[in-house]
Amino acid sequence: MIIQKSTQPRIGSFDPESYSFGDHFIDHMIVCEYQDGKWGEVKLMPYGPLSFSPANMAFNYGQACFEGMKAYKDKDGEVYLFRPEKNFERINKSAARLAMPEIPKEVFIDGLKALVDVDRAWIPYGEGKSLYIRPLIFATEEALKARVSHKYMFAIVASPAKSYYTAPVSVKISDYYSRAASGGVGFAKAAGNYAASFYPTKLANQEGYEQVIWTDDTTHENFEESGTMNVFVRIGDTIYTPKTSEKILDGVTRDSFINLAKRRGIEVVIGDVKVKDVVDAYRNETLKEVWGVGTAVVTSVFEAIGYKDEKLILPKLEFEDSYALTLQRDLVAIQTNQAEDPFGWRVKVERHVLEGA
């Protein structure tokens, strides 16, 4: 690994009590380039702009994917990653679907640990706080040709994070727009998936909703995801969540919630979640909770669901009665080293010579 530490670190000007999600970046980044059929050496370097031509093939043909993950600091100042192997596996699954070269494990994992180690001072400690980490792969060849690129870049950048949503949100069930289609790239964290979601979300915003519940592209009868999150529904004392497929992202937080629920003895049903069943449960007062989960948000509890021209107001549960909030607490306790980790999810970032940049 080539290491170039910043000579003008900005950590001294960062206020850990006053910042918003995703708009401050740590002092360093990881960069690794691919050409001539192989990945080069990993570089840890000062964070800053990179120079690209407008003819960059990523801009023109959309070969770009990314991951979202976090590092956490405990009360003793030790730093932990959460299930990084899952993110490594998923970014390569995304890359393969977009005809991009897969990242070697040592490039991804070693680069990730080195970056978090050198900038551990940027990781805020406290409730809801973490370091949001964004590994990404994108084409870099300069060519206006509709084909796969011959050059790529892998990079990792990171930003101090706090709670994404601080209050329950309202969501609108989509009965026209879809997030993904069969045979498409819905299971991948392709950059274009997010661009395509912005317009329908904007329309929902105009109706007073913060997010969209995406439904299937053929019948619009089944829940798929919500916004950029996997979705969970609680009817009675049972949790329902859509099964992953080529249209639904295999979320790390989703998988963690399922395992934590089963550990508590809560029944989890993975399969089709029909809009009709959810609405019927609302009408007969057995619908208890609906929520979304994801790395950035952890848990977003829904207070209302827009269905056609109706707004279904969900019950307001006390913390101890809410499966969503109970499972969130269980997850965060593991992530922040406040509880035992029976699953082996927590990965400590050891202190090395990189510390103190």
Are residues 12 and 146 located together in one domain of the fold?
A: yes
Q: 30-61: per-residue pLDDT in tens?
A: 999 999 999 999 999 999 999 999 999 999 99
Q: Is residue 343 part of a domain?
A: no
Q: Is residue 348 part of a domain?
A: no
What would the mean pLDDT of 155-162 be, rounded to a whole number? 96
Domain span holding position 140: 2-162
Q: Mention every residue, 6+ apart, whose C-beta is less than 8 A from residue 194.
A: 228
Q: Is residue 342 part of a domain?
A: no
Confidence of residue 23 (pLDDT cuts 50, 70, 90): confident
Are residues 76 and 156 located together in one domain of the fold?
A: yes
How far apart CA 48 and CA 54 sit, in angstroms, is 18
Q: How confident is the model at residue 18, as a pLDDT?
A: 83
Last residue of a domain, one of 127, 162, 197: 162
DSSP secondary structure of 177-236: --S--TTSSTTS-BHHHHHHHHHHHHHHHHTT-SEEEEE-TTTS-BEEEETTEEEEEEET
Q: How confident is the model at residue 164, as a pLDDT?
A: 73
Q: Are 121 and 213 in contact (CB under 8 A)?
A: no
Confidence of residue 22 (pLDDT cuts 50, 70, 90): confident
355 pLDDT more than 70? no
Are residues 24 and 87 located together in one domain of the fold?
A: yes
The dihedrals phi and psi of 39, each to the nearest 5 degrees, come to: -85, 140
- CATH for 196: 3.20.10.10
How far apart CA 298 and CA 320 sit, in angstroms, is 18
Are residues 237 and 122 located together in one domain of the fold?
A: no
How far apart CA 65 and CA 191 sit, in angstroms, is 5
Confidence of residue 157 (pLDDT cuts 50, 70, 90): very high
Are residues 40 and 181 located together in one domain of the fold?
A: no
Q: How confident is the model at residue 240, as a pLDDT?
A: 98
Q: 98-113: per-residue pLDDT in tens?
A: 999 999 999 999 999 9
Are residues 205 and 180 located together in one domain of the fold?
A: yes
Q: How confident is the model at residue 176, as a pLDDT?
A: 96
Q: 181-231: per-residue pLDDT in tens?
A: 999 999 999 999 999 999 999 999 999 999 999 999 999 999 999 999 999
What would the mean pLDDT of 83-95 be, rounded to a whole number? 98
DSSP annotation of 330 reads H
Task: Look up residue 190 and give its two tokens.
Answer: 């392709």
Q: How confident is the model at residue 263, as a pLDDT?
A: 98
Confidence of residue 354 (pLDDT cuts 50, 70, 90): low
Q: Is residue 15 part of a domain?
A: yes
Q: Are 153 and 137 in contact (CB under 8 A)?
A: yes
Confidence of residue 357 (pLDDT cuts 50, 70, 90): very low
Q: 136-148: per-residue pLDDT in tens?
A: 999 999 999 999 9
- CATH for 94: 3.30.470.10
Task: Look up residue 324 and give its two tokens.
Answer: 């969503």
What's the predicted TM-score (pTM) here?
0.95
How far apart CA 231 and CA 221 sit, in angstroms, is 15
Are residues 243 and 321 located together in one domain of the fold?
A: yes
Are residues 209 and 257 located together in one domain of the fold?
A: yes
What would the mean pLDDT of 317-333 be, rounded to a whole number? 96
Confidence of residue 356 (pLDDT cuts 50, 70, 90): very low
Are residues 154 and 24 located together in one domain of the fold?
A: yes
Higher pLDDT, 242 or 352: 242
Total of domains in the chain? 2
Are residues 155 and 194 located together in one domain of the fold?
A: no
Q: How confident is the model at residue 344, as a pLDDT?
A: 97
